[in-house]
Structure 1
């Protein structure tokens, strides 16, 4: 084998070990040996190199009663961090997500105006600077990921349109990169969320998934087919909120000839609960605590229309699992068996007989984790090349 070939194989194996530690959580060297088929000495060398790069750490195994020498446990280093960003109509959420999937820092910046791409970049840079001078002083920040509620062109990350934000052909990737110096990726928020739920959440281990996300900007969606995320020709697949489901009762129609996200709407829920603005937990708590017939009627109305939209998706895509996030999870949980029955009543029996509907397991973390996963992609694909652009921080010693 040539030196070039040997180097390529080693780089591939470094990426395999790092990805296993990232996706699987703490793993023993023995487990890594079994998963990869590599021998123990090769695993030891690869882990030592990744540890020297600051990407993984090793610790003694938990005490167990077994014969033989216990195998050290390998974990992704939490000091390797991606910055995850989610601009919305009412708030800008920024999180620091570790390679171990922890979220040591997050900030929700409430907004009384529509944030622009330039302001997004400035606020991200300001928050990053504050964290670097404080809690993330010893972190290695490798990239930024931005989850945008809109159509994002896959080829270059250009936000073609985020109508609720008022963005058109916005080069937010370039703006954030220029402001922070970080390699930056941009994607549709729901597409990033389905990736997070598929890897770590409610759809883990499921090969065929439909995901719908309900947020302040409407309803977006993401797809996993045969275990692979589906983006479409330009990256715009999954816009379930723009579909027009049939509405059986005239009394259920509130938006004229509106699309799904006009009828099944977070803003309508906020209005009946009596909140001007709220995060997901606050809205869910408000609905749960309410005894108002008007709130109950609105939740039921939205659930009926959502059931029709889901039945259409089930007929077309035949998923094993539908995952609902954001306010859609809230209205589903109000009567999950009833929602599933309503979907099956409107879908083809063969397509829906084994269907499950689940709420997003990662809850409000799903968009941050999904954005971070996109940001970590280059590191997980080729650790050595990715790290060349992100030198370690120099932290002054105390003394």
Structure 2
């Protein structure tokens, strides 16, 4: 029987894995600069956590979760996103009581959603997420957005477009919600089944529908910006002011809504503004979720965050022809001639590795020509040639591959030569 990889997943082979490592290290370094600390949560949680945290009217909860029952009869779900798990950890570990507030966290890890696989969208995908909990200051909204923009820019992406909106506070959202119901209700039968079920539960999500996005009522729907109360409007203006101060260009889009139920006030997306990236141009989505911690059993705690797919990021880098400066090749490749040299090779390789060099050698018994070809394929900077004559002199012949220059060097002086 031949086994195949499950649909919607991928094998990340060594050449590509180096790019992943580079991107992940860039994320670690950038988050450290912003003073965000890494959190690692389980890959599965109680199903109810996502129903409450993500929202039971969302496509994720209704259609896309990988849910199973364990031997104890408990319903568990592979995490479809990272915010709910991070907030659960925040509540369970009483981080709201920590002296340093807000609590600033980030995570990198696999998520799982059962949806139709397409370019840049997998059933198992890796998310980088950032969450800041404990502050209702619009300045931290701008900080979170700035972190996301810095991440893309420092990796070399261009033609980025930041779109921001405000979903308002609870009062503003309720007023807008009632206006949306009045707007859509007379003709809701013309919309898809999902939209019909959302009308009373969460009419804002009708605006995010892909099936009915061209319906005439979509373009004439009431704008949330017309229903922001004074407090919400002032908050949104301050976020924009901070973005201006940070010289981060943006556009205000009143039609921008987030697909999860817990968002309020600031919402944003970062897109690729250009051709060649496909139909889905959004790279990142995020926003403020001031009621989520309370929903999951914690005290009233404001929060804001974003999440992005590393697969979509890599796709964007490829589309724009960005070459990541990943390390390639070996510091040195050890070529042996004769049985005595082959016997001495493991010890020498081990010593060089302990000193921090990236080295390899032959394990297939190839002749010198074959070993030299292997060194060339693996882009070795130096070849160390070890034969009986070199052993007798406690030395090794060092060949610089770029120039062809050869030099006999004592074994205890190799680091001085190669380390430079």
TM-score scaled by structure 2?
Answer: 0.26
TM-score scaled by structure 1?
Answer: 0.27
Structure with larger Rg: 2
